[in-house]
Every structure is written in C-alpha cells, then in structure tokens.
Chain A
Amino acid sequence: MKKLLPAISFAGLALVIVPACLYLAGFTDKPQMQTLMLIGTVLWFVSAPLWIGKAERSM
C-alpha cells in the first residue's frame, strides 16, 4: 500500500494532463479527453489524502 497509493495518485495526475496533450496533438477527441480527465481527477482526490498527510507527519 505504501507504494501503491502514490502510484495511483500520480496515475491520476497523468490522466489529467496527458489527454489534454493528446488533444492538442490531434490524437483524441474532446469527449474522450474529458472522460479521461474526470477519471484522473477522481483517482487523485480519492488516493492523495490517504498518503500525503501521512508522509508529512512522518517527516
């Protein structure tokens, strides 16, 4: 879990920005881009609070 949660979070962030890059490059359409960004957003906000706070407390 210690490594899985950050991995999920960063995958979420990637899903926020990569589809926009693909859209800029013309490799995807807008609805698909928006769906992927939404999935990425959910992943980030569900997973990030589970490890970011703990990482700070252990510093």
Chain B
Amino acid sequence: MAENTEYEREPVPAKARLGFRSFVGQYAGEHTAGTELMIGPLFVAAGVSAIDLVMGLLIGNLLAVLSWTLMTAPIATRVRLTLYCQLERITGRKFVVIYNAVNGIAFCFLAGSMITVSATALGVWFEFPMPGLNDLYPNSVGWVIGVLAIGTVVAYVAAAGYRVVAKVANYAAPWMVLVFIAFGLVGLRDFANATGASIGSPGEFWQLAETVIWTGGEPLPGQVKFTFWHVMFFAWFANMAMHVGMSDLSVFRYARKARYGLASATGMYLGHFLAWVAASILFALQLHRDPSNTDVLPGPLAADAVGLVGLLCVIVAGWTTANPTIYRAGLAFQAIVPKASRFKVTFATGLLCAVAGMFPAIAMKLLGFVALYGLILMPMGAVIFCDYWLMKRFGMQPFYAERAGKSVNWAPAIAWIATVAVCLAAVNMGYVGLYFASLPGWFVAAAMYLGLSKFLQRQPSATHGATT
C-alpha cells in the first residue's frame, strides 16, 4: 500500500471521502465491543438501580452523540487533518511529540484491555487459567500465549490501514449487534428460569429488573457506588478522548459532511446501551447463581449464554474495537517519527498493545481507567475547539505555533498540564469524583488556553514571524 493513501500529513481530498454508511459500520462495530462485556458487569458490581441505569445511559449517550456531532465533526470536516497534524500547527512540533506519546500510550492500554477480553474466549476453548477480578499480572503461560496470538492478528489488520479496518467492522457489526442482543434475551430467560419469575409483559420484566438484576443495593467490596449521575457521566465521557478530546478528528476528516457525526448514535445506543445492559444481565445472573463468583470474564459469560457463537463474538468484538484504537495509537506514534513507515509503526504499536493486554489490571479496573484517560486527553480537545472557533473572535491567531514558527507554543502546553494537575488534585482531595472532573476541567482548559494565548501573543517577540 502506498504511504500517502492514509493522508497522515495532508488534508483528505474529496476523492477519498467516505459516505455515512462507512461511519455507521465503524461506530457500531467499534462500540459494540468486547469491553462492553466488562463495563456492563461493572455497573452491576457498582450497585446501580434499574431506573438509574436506563435513564443515565439514555441521557449520557445522547450527550456523547451530540459531542461528536457538534464539536468533533464540524472541525474535522473543515480542516480534514489528523488530530496530530492539527495539534502540531497549534502547539508546535516539540510539544506535540510529548502529547502524542501520552496519547499513543493511553490508546495502547485501552487496546490492550480489548485484547485481554478476546483472550478470555480462548481461555474457555483451551482451558488455561484466567485472571480474577483483583489480579494484576498474567497468571499462566497459556494466558500469555493466547493474548500474544490474538494481539498479533489484530496488530496486522490495524497496520493494513483504515479502509481495511472499516471493511472488517462493516462485516462484523450487524452480526455482533445481534449476538449482543441475544446475550440479553438469553440472560433474561435464564434469570426467569432461575428465579421462577414471569417475564411475559414489560411490567413483569421491569419488576425483575428492579428487584433482582439491578437492585440498587450496596456495591461489591472495593467498588464505587453508582447513581444516575455516575451512569450518565460515565456514558457521556466513556469516549471523551474521542469526541470532546478530538481524537476522532482523525476519523471524521474522511466524512463528506459534519452531520455524519450522528453515525456515532449506532455505537452509543447499540453498544453503550443494549450491549452494556445485556452484559450486565449475564453478570447479574452469574452472581445470582453463585454470589461468591465475582470474576468478570467475558469469555465464560458469553459461552454460558450462547455457546460457540458467544466465544466467537467476544473474539471478534475485541478485535474490531482494538483495530481502530491501535490505528489511532499508530497515528500518534507516527506523528513523532513522520518518516517511518505507517505500517511498521502501527504493527509495532499493536504488538505493544498485546503486551499490555497480558496484564489484566487494566481490564478489571476499566471504568476508572476509561474515565482517567478521557480526563488526561480532554484538555487538548478544549484547545483545538477554542483555537478553531474563538481565537480570531478574540483578536488572536489560530494555529499560532505554525504561524509564528515556534517549536513550542506554551499556551496549550501549560493549559494541558495545569488542567490535568488541577483535576487530579481535586479528585485526590475528594472535591470531585473521577467520573465528573472532566466537565469543569474542559472549561478550565479553555479559559487557560485563551488567557495564556492573549498574554503570550502580546509579547513583542511573539509577533516575530507571525502572519495574519
């Protein structure tokens, strides 16, 4: 494949732009993922109630779709550059190297957790010991080999390029969605059989949901109690790095129109609603049958529900999610070494993800990790948003590093580091929960970027070399 077909360092031309359906498949596949089989059960472990879960997911996912549609896609379809190219023009080459490294590493951990999930399916087949809820390190040779085998395949496909990724996701997405729905249907019947409850009407289903599945009681030991607000903010910010954080500029730069951001609704309501609900039913059933079995292992959960198809689904779901995540991580690292082959960089990144996937700690603490990585990457989204929409209105220059010929623009650099520091300090001191800190953090980052830019662009030396 020719190196310039992915347009890493140039705007995507009209001939390469994609239609709405490409994004429907991409988002449905990416967000109906193996990790949903981790997240759904963790809601149950957090003692969420039925009404809090349903309303929180409905509203939180709507906010996520609006974030993609109104914040990410409009800039992506106007500038048509990757996140990394755009940041380089704003922050300068030297700073973006650091940001890209952090971004790439975060995506590697996330993709690693997806490979972890897929490997739990291999564990059912090959019967090697698998990690428990509190395990941090790989606990068997079989586990290490299983993760490496899946990771190598995933890495190769991701390295083959975005169009291949989109094609694989398109094939798998409709099937995966139906299998996830089947998880929920089968789980419900098994619940009814186990409890003797009737589920012949919506009222009876809701009674089962409230009294047995999502009871709203105390969380499992070591878990944070989840309310409506936790669920809503988690659903909104689960992909914060991608929408508010603007990572999906790299995806929507291919979109013909900004309204294609609405395609993300397929991922949110099929994946982050139906799949989470279905997965939580399976885990609640496991707990109902054996309250001491708190292991969150998607492979066994899926196999118990629908057999071999469930295992295939866990592997494919982890794979199709890991693909675009590794692709994004590869782009991040390639921006550090732009002359390197994108194939080699992405393949090496995928192998790094496989190594991360051997460590189950990330997958078992996925709720917290997802919130944390969104928080860390969010401030640069605020910078890009302000740079595109507000800089000229406030009498300042957008893409300042490029225009002024600076290798580091300190305004976004300080805004990023200070925002993350303030948010993490506020979380550690108990002023705000990890799941909520990103919302005020966005405004802190935006205000700091604009204020610092106003100050720095007034400096006499700042105007040297700048053009309007």
- The complex places the Cα of A31 from the Cα of B389 at a distance, in Å, of 58
On chain A, the number of residues with a Cβ less than 8 Å from chain B's Cβ atoms is: 24
- The complex places the Cα of A13 from the Cα of B179 at a distance, in Å, of 9
Specify the main secondary structure of chain B where it touches its partner. Answer: helix
Q: Is the CB of A52 within 8 A of B170?
A: yes
Q: A24-B189, A45-B171, A45-B175 are in contact. Are A16 and B182 (CB under 8 A)?
A: yes
Q: Is the CB of A44 within 8 A of B175?
A: yes
Residues 5-43 (chain A) with a chain B CB within 8 angstroms: 12-13, 16-17, 20-21, 23-24, 26, 30-31, 33-34, 37-38, 41
In the complex, which of the residues B19, B185, B199 contacts A23, with contact meaning CB atoms closer than 8 Å?
A: B185
Residues of chain A contacted by B170 (CB below 8 angstroms) = 52, 56
Q: Which residues of A come within 8 Å of B, CB atoms?
A: 12-13, 16-17, 20-21, 23-24, 26, 30-31, 33-34, 37-38, 41, 44-45, 48-49, 52-53, 56, 59
Q: Is the CB of A41 within 8 A of B309?
A: yes
Q: Is the CB of B181 within 8 A of A13?
A: no
- The complex places the Cα of A28 from the Cα of B308 at a distance, in Å, of 18
- The complex places the Cα of A52 from the Cα of B170 at a distance, in Å, of 8
Minimum CB distance partner of B172 in chain A: A45
Asked whether B186 is an interface residue with its Cβ less than 8 Å from the other chain, the reply is yes
Asked whether B188 is an interface residue with its Cβ less than 8 Å from the other chain, the reply is yes
In the complex, which of the residues A17, A45, A49, A56 contacts B182, with contact meaning CB atoms closer than 8 Å?
A: A17
Q: Is the CB of A37 within 8 A of B181?
A: no
Specify the main secondary structure of chain A where it touches its partner. Answer: helix
In the complex, which of the residues A30, A34, A56 contacts B308, with contact meaning CB atoms closer than 8 Å?
A: A34
* In the complex, per-residue mask of B194-229: 1 if CB is within 8 Å of any chain A CB, else 0: 000001000000000000000000000000000000
Q: A20-B185, A23-B185, A41-B312 are in contact. Are A52 and B171 (CB under 8 A)?
A: yes
Residues of chain A contacted by B21 (CB below 8 angstroms) = 56
Q: A23-B186, A24-B186, A45-B171 are in contact. Are A17 and B178 (CB under 8 A)?
A: yes
Q: Is the CB of B181 within 8 A of A41?
A: no
Minimum CB distance partner of B303 in chain A: A34
- The complex places the Cα of A27 from the Cα of B307 at a distance, in Å, of 18
Asked whether B129 is an interface residue with its Cβ less than 8 Å from the other chain, the reply is no
Q: Is the CB of B185 within 8 A of A38?
A: no
Q: A38-B309, A41-B309 are in contact. Are A33 and B186 (CB under 8 A)?
A: yes
**Nearest-Cβ distance from residue B382 to partner chain A, whole angstroms:** 36
Count, A-B residue pairs, CB within 8 A:
60
Asked whether B167 is an interface residue with its Cβ less than 8 Å from the other chain, the reply is yes
- The complex places the Cα of A24 from the Cα of B179 at a distance, in Å, of 14
In the complex, which of the residues A24, A34, A48, A53 contacts B307, with contact meaning CB atoms closer than 8 Å?
A: A34
Minimum CB distance partner of B304 in chain A: A30
25 residue pairs bridging A and B, Cβ less than 8 Å apart:
A12-B175, A16-B179, A16-B182, A20-B182, A20-B185, A20-B186, A23-B185, A23-B186, A23-B189, A24-B185, A24-B188, A24-B189, A30-B186, A31-B307, A33-B306, A37-B182, A38-B309, A41-B175, A41-B312, A44-B174, A44-B175, A45-B171, A45-B175, A52-B170, A56-B170
Scoring A12, A13, A31, A37 by chain B CB atoms within 10 A of each residue's CB, the highest score goes to: A37
Q: Is the CB of B309 within 8 A of A37?
A: yes
In the complex, which of the residues B167, B185, B309 contacts A21, with contact meaning CB atoms closer than 8 Å?
A: B185
**Nearest-Cβ distance from residue B14 to partner chain A, whole angstroms:** 15
Q: Is the CB of B174 within 8 A of A20?
A: no
Residues of chain A contacted by B167 (CB below 8 angstroms) = 53
Q: Is the CB of B186 within 8 A of A16?
A: no
Minimum CB distance partner of B22 in chain A: A56
Q: A12-B175, A20-B186, A20-B306 are in contact. List 6 more A-B contacts (CB 8 A).
A: A17-B178, A21-B185, A24-B199, A37-B307, A44-B175, A49-B171
In the complex, which of the residues B19, B185, B199, B306 contacts A34, with contact meaning CB atoms closer than 8 Å?
A: B306
Minimum CB distance partner of A17 in chain B: B178
Minimum CB distance partner of B307 in chain A: A34
Residues of chain A contacted by B182 (CB below 8 angstroms) = 16-17, 20, 37
